[in-house]
Amino acid sequence: MSVEARPVRPFAFWRLVGSEISLMLSRRRNQLGLVILAAVPVVMAVAIKTSGDTGLMVSVANGTVLPMLALMMESAFFLPLAMSLLAGDAIAGEAHGGTLRYLLVTPVGRARLLAVKFAGLLVGAFFGTFLIAVVGLVAGVMVFGSGASMTLSGTAITFTESLGRLALMALFLALMMTAVGTMGLFLSTLVDQPLAVTVGCMVVVILSWLTEATSQLAWLQPYLLTHWFLQFADVLRDPPLWSRAVKGLGVAAAWMAVTGAAAWARFTSKDIGS
Amino acid sequence: MSEGGAAVVTSGLTKTFGHQTAVDDLALEVPTGSVYGFLGPNGSGKTTTIRMLLGLVHPTAGHVRLLDEPMPAHANRVLPRVGALVEGPAFHLHLNGRDNLRRLDAADATAEARTSSARIGAALERVGLTAAARKRVKNYSLGMKQRLGIAAALLQPHDLLVLDEPTNGLDPQGTREVRHLVAGLAHDGTTVLVSSHLLAEVEQMCSHVGVMSRGRLVAQDSLAGLRRAHGVRVRVTTPDLAQATDALTVLGLDEVASSAGEGASGQVTAALGDHAVEAVVPALVSAGVRVLGFSADSASLEERFVELTGEGFDVR
């Protein structure tokens, strides 16, 4: 008997991406993480409302400011932590549990699996970032209304226009977080312990923040991802200044290219002994 | 495709980890349609070999051909025709059995999404896990995980099944079911490579045997051939140990060994080789040996196995 060679099915890649996303969503830890990400803007809204100290909010009188503040706060630590956890599960987690060898003998193809894992991290980054934006927006509009908003330049823009700025900000941070995730994906190909990946990834993020706070290391700052997380503020001016946001995206693209290539080089040549 | 040839061929296959040679110059040949028992003590290099066959580990030297295609170069073409269970089952513990199979099916680019549920259902049925399919794998016994691992290898029809210690953790009933399963698959024409450290298991289900010891393949033959090759040992009971030893040596027998027994008499044993068994006793008598007992037995496969692999418990 000889089994007929089966053709590769169309959409097979997307079927596996779908499987990857449902696997990420099936983990209790990840579900809890999403709840925490979403809770931050809600807590901020409640805190501002109940304290009665609505200074900034009253002056702008627009619900879009709340999700923007929440995104800025969470991009410092919570969002990178979420990406570090996902990256740890990506390859090291599968290796740790032994499921990696079964995926590879299926066969999934190492480069293809890496591409699927990257796609999963990309979706995770967008999902997390836009979750904060949407929950923050709903909470913000409920508490502060949907009036005209004031830009950082002091001019007023309409609610619709400020929605567009919010969407751009979430998009910008989602791409930044994808870069953090790609760096984590590389670490994930190095070891078989998901926790080591998460810790390693966070060490890089925290060291980057420390560098940001050390003026003697100013020359290094433009090369670090964290340096650009808050540069989106320029786009909140009127008219928006794009140059620094674009430069930040360039740095993120460079990180993705370098760490992605390193992950590929490592993973496609590695012995799977787990 | 590989009709009549060999389903697995390796030449000079070697893997070293640092200074340690895990697999040394292996020339494996698994005939198409056979059930090949890959036998060896724990730590003898079986699993490393299997990992190299499947492209998980890169050989330090040598070549692998699976189903007439080079590995790992053509992995994407060959592996869809190969089902595998490697070094124990591994699953996502928080998912149930069915969802784990669904995940593996999604990973197979040649699997049709439309028939996924039906194939998963059939595989679960075949290993007797239908009733437990909705249970989280976390709550499975080792035996159930092992069955689920076999089910995963049955999601698609395969030309070759590589099963690494498939009965590990199974109770006697489960072990028997695996044997039946393997026999059924072999009957359908699937070549099966099954590794084991249990001789009895290999004896019961295999047509061919390869024996590993300390990273080397020390024997490879059909089961019947291996039994034959071992040959017959003669055993003489006599008080004249020295004369008997000389006489057998003069006669040209190999591996002559004597051991003192209780009382006056002891035993001398030797490998008969190509010699006629009826010539032995007259030769002894004419040499003046007092023969109190004589026998000629072919040793059990187990003795052969121990002889090939050494008895020690030391694992490198």
CATH code (residue B95): 3.40.50.300
User: How many domains, in total, are found in chain B?
Assistant: 2
Same-domain check for residues B199 and B249: no
Q: Can you tell me which residue has the tokens 């009665």?
A: A52
In the numeric block, the tokens 């799977």 are attached to A272
CA distance A83 to A185: 10
DSSP class of A62: B
**Which residues make beta-bridge pairs with B219?**
B211
- As a dihedral over the C-alpha atoms of residue A187, residue A189, residue A194, residue A198, rounded to 10 degrees, the angle is 10
d(CA A68, CA A133): 7
B61-66 and B69-71 as β-strands: parallel, antiparallel, unpaired? antiparallel
Residue A185 has pLDDT above 70, yes or no: yes
**Domain assignment of residue B303, yes or no:** no
Question: Is the pLDDT confidence value at B313 over 70?
Answer: no
Q: Based on the domain organization, do B196 and B257 belong to the same domain?
A: no
Q: Could you tell me if B250 and B125 lie in one domain?
A: no
Q: Which of B76, B93, B102 sits opposite A107 (nearest CB)?
A: B76
- Domain containing B248 equals 232-298
What's the confidence (pLDDT) of residue B251? 85
Of the residues B200, B224, B248, the one at which a domain ends: B224
Does the pLDDT value for residue A12 go beyond 50?
A: yes
Tell whether B146 and B164 lie within a shared domain.
Answer: yes
B67 domain-assigned? yes
Cα gap A75→A69, rounded to integer Å = 10
Alpha helix positions (H), A98-240:
99-105, 110-144, 159-190, 194-212, 226-229
Domain co-membership, B172 together with B210: yes
Q: Do B217 and B257 sit in the same domain of this protein?
A: no
- Are A107 and B75 contacting, i.e. CB atoms less than 8 angstroms apart? yes
| A219 to chain B, closest Cα gap in Å | 41
Do B220 and B236 lie in one domain? The reply is no
Mean predicted confidence (pLDDT) in A42-62? 72
* Final residue in a domain of this structure, among B191, B224, B257: B224
The per-residue pLDDT of chain A, averaged, comes to: 89
Is residue B307 assigned to a domain? no
Confidence check: pLDDT of A14 > 50: yes
Question: Looking at chain B, which residue has its C-alpha nearest residue A268?
Answer: B56
Could you tell me if B35 and B55 lie in one domain?
Answer: yes
B210: alpha, beta or left, given left = phi > 0 and alpha = psi -120 to 50? beta
B237 and B92 in a common domain: no
B72/B93 same-domain check: yes
The pLDDT tens digits for B127-150 are 889 999 999 999 998 888 988 998
Chain B environment of A112 (Cβ under 8 Å):
109
Decide if A12 contacts B109 (C-beta within 8 A): yes
Checking if the pLDDT of B314 tops 60, the result is: no
Residue B315 domain-assigned (yes or no): no
Domain with residue B275: its CATH number is 3.30.70.100
pLDDT in tens, B181-191: 888 888 888 99
Residue B51 lies in a domain: yes
**Residue B107 to residue A271, Cβ atoms within 8 A:** no
CB contact set of B125 (below 8 Å; sequence gap of 6+): none
What pLDDT band is residue B120 in, cutting at 50, 70 and 90? very high
Which chain A positions have a beta carbon within 8 Å of B90's beta carbon?
A: 97-99, 101-102
Mean pLDDT of chain B: 86
Task: Give the C-alpha separation, A247 to B301, whole Å.
Answer: 73
Question: Within an 8 Å CB–CB cutoff, is residue A13 touching chain B?
Answer: yes
Cis peptide, bond prior to residue A107, ω within 30 of zero: yes
How long a stretch of residues is chain A? 274
Looking at the fold, whether B219 and B244 belong to one and the same domain comes out as no
**Per residue in A191-240, pLDDT tens?**
999 999 999 999 999 999 999 998 888 889 889 999 898 888 887 777 78
pLDDT at position A154 over 80: no
Q: Which residue of B has its CA nearest to A9?
A: B110
Token pair recorded at residue B8: 């697995």
Q: Which residues of A touch B49 (CB under 8 A)?
A: none
Is B58–A6 a contact, with Cβ atoms under 8 angstroms apart? no
* A86 in Cβ contact with A30 (< 8 Å): yes
For residue B306, being part of any structural domain is answered with: no
Q: Is residue B103 part of a domain?
A: yes
Please say which residue of B224, B256, B281 terminates a domain: B224
CB contacts of A98 in chain B (<8 Å) are 87-90
Query: In what side-by-side order are the strands of the sheet with B293-298?
Result: B254-260, B266-271, B232-238, B293-298
Residues B74 and B214 in one domain: yes
Whether residue A8 is predicted with pLDDT greater than 50 in this model: the reply is: yes
- Are the beta carbons of B92 and A99 separated by less than 8 Å? yes
Residue A267 is which amino acid?
A: F
CB-based contact (8 Å) between A167 and chain B?
no
Domain ranges of chain A: 19-268
